[in-house]
Amino acid sequence: MKEKPSYLGLLNAIAVGEARGHALLVAWREATTDSSLADVLNVVAIREQEHAAAFTKRLCELGFAVRDKPSSQFEENLRLAASDASDVVKFQRILGYQPGDTESSGNAAKEDPLADVFA
């Protein structure tokens, strides 16, 4: 049996998180009626997919596979992303941005290109 590297769990968590991010953003992109937002969501979704593939590849190179665990929060967010809820609601609930988030308050929201769409 292969010896598990101490960082194996972290690699797995990143691979799973990035794949879930891709799925959420694709669902949201397909549900939005805002073409500018859809373009941004598409670019970010592609990046998430690339990251998931890179970490999955590394796990494979080490002789391990991605192990996904069920997540009720992910399933709830996926349903919301695919719903006809407003993009603002999705932005707040899925990504955690709230009205009044500013760079000076220490929130990273203003560093995110999606934050500018909703500013």
Chain segment 19-28, per-residue pLDDT in tens = 999 999 999 9
- Residue 3 pLDDT: 84
Query: What letter represents residue 2's amino acid?
Result: K
pLDDT tens-digit series, residues 60-74: 999 999 999 999 999
Task: List % helix, strand, coil for the chain (3-state, nearest 5).
Answer: 70, 0, 30
117: pLDDT strictly greater than 80: no
**Placement of tokens 């959420």 in the chain:** 24
- Residue 109 pLDDT: 46
Alpha-carbon distances of 112 from 34, 56, 67, 97, 102, rounded to whole Å: 18, 25, 29, 10, 11
Report residue 4 as tokens. Answer: 């598990």
Q: Model pTM? A: 0.80
pLDDT tens-digit series, residues 90-112: 999 998 887 766 554 444 444 55
